Structure 1
Amino acid sequence: MTVERPDDRLPSVFRFSTELVAWVGMPWALAGRSWVLAVLSLVVLIGLPAVFATPGDKQRAVVPVPGWVTILLVLLEIAGALVAAWWIMPLWAALLVSVLAAVTLVTERPRWTWLLSLSSRADT
């Protein structure tokens, strides 16, 4: 059964917003402990998704991976945004980031279903 790629323009806005919080927040949160950890967080949060991609999800996949790996990378970004928000931000901002993360999780579900369908086709 072929699952069509869902329209992910709106989910992309929420996903990118969450990634942006993670990209800024995690290094900021870790900088007080270790600048090495701050830099490493950027390598993980920006570098891994730039290198590893599911074919069909991005125009070019430097290192092709199954859909479930892409989903795990998005979950890592969401977790990074949440950890950073609750670690360094005031309560109201952490709550806003939590709502953003929840919306991202909900809006990503059709894309994740599609990504998993790509993985199952590749496995057979």
Structure 2
Amino acid sequence: MTPVHELGAASPTRRKASLLRFATELGAWGAIGTAFAQISLPLAIAVVLAAIALPTVYATPGDKPQAHVPVPGWVTIVILAATMAGGVVAAWIAWPWWAAAALSALTIASLIAELPRWRWLLTAKARQ
């Protein structure tokens, strides 16, 4: 597989991975919000805002056009993996089985599509 840094910004492979990642994040945020809303609406809002803010503020240089707070690639991976895992768990807690299964399948597809980017994020070039 071609590393992400060698793919053009508009390449079909990178675009597909980005779309899958974004759809997975949207689903995860929705599932997390739904699950936490069963406990407290303010808590649900706070947790979802945190899940959105983390990858916006902390980014690996070269992965996004602007990194407000530069972090190594492994941190970017941990943030995304935590969002995805939290979304899947929350979906199975708060959603009907078919919706949780759909988010689980989307998450698996996104993880597979993300592997080239994650490999790149773990390289020395991504940490500069």
TM-score interval (norm. to shorter): 0.7 to 0.9
Residues 43-67 of structure 1: per-residue CA shift (max 9 Å, x gap):
3210111100000000010000000
Instruction: Please tell me whether residue 103 in structure 1 is matched to residue 101 in structure 2.
Output: no
Report the 3-state secondary structure (helix = DSSP H, G, I; strand = E; otherwise coil) of the residue aligned with 1:8: helix
Q: Indicate the RMSD between aligned Cα atoms, in angstroms.
A: 1.8
Residues 54-85 of structure 1: per-residue CA shift (max 9 Å, x gap):
00000010000000000011101111220221
Given that 1:45 and 1:76 are in contact with CA atoms closer than 8 Å, whether structure 2 keeps it comes out as: no
Question: How far does residue 32 in structure 1 lie from its aligned partner after superposition?
Answer: 1.7
Deviates more, 1:78-87 or 1:54-63: 78-87
Instruction: Please tell me whether residue 68 in structure 1 is matched to residue 65 in structure 2.
Output: no
Question: How far does residue 91 in structure 1 lie from its aligned partner after superposition?
Answer: 1.1
Q: For residue 10 of structure 2, what is the aligned residue in structure 1? A: none
Given that 1:68 and 1:115 are in contact with CA atoms closer than 8 Å, whether structure 2 keeps it comes out as: yes
Q: How many residues align structurally?
A: 120
Give, in whole Å, the separation in 2 of the partners of 1:17 and 1:81.
12
Q: Tell me, which stretches of 5 or more residues in structure 2 are unaligned?
A: 8-12
Distance 1:119 1:35, change over 3 A: farther
Moved over 6 A (4+): none
Instruction: Please tell me whether residue 117 in structure 1 is matched to residue 123 in structure 2.
Output: yes
Q: For residue 16 of structure 1, what is the aligned residue in structure 2? A: 22
Give, in whole Å, the separation in 1 of the partners of 2:99 and 2:41.
24
- Amino acid in structure 2 at the alignment position of 1:86: W
Given that 2:4 and 2:116 are in contact with CA atoms closer than 8 Å, whether structure 1 keeps it comes out as: no
What is the TM-score normalised by the length of structure 1? 0.87
What is the TM-score normalised by the length of structure 2? 0.85
Given that 2:121 and 2:127 are in contact with CA atoms closer than 8 Å, whether structure 1 keeps it comes out as: no
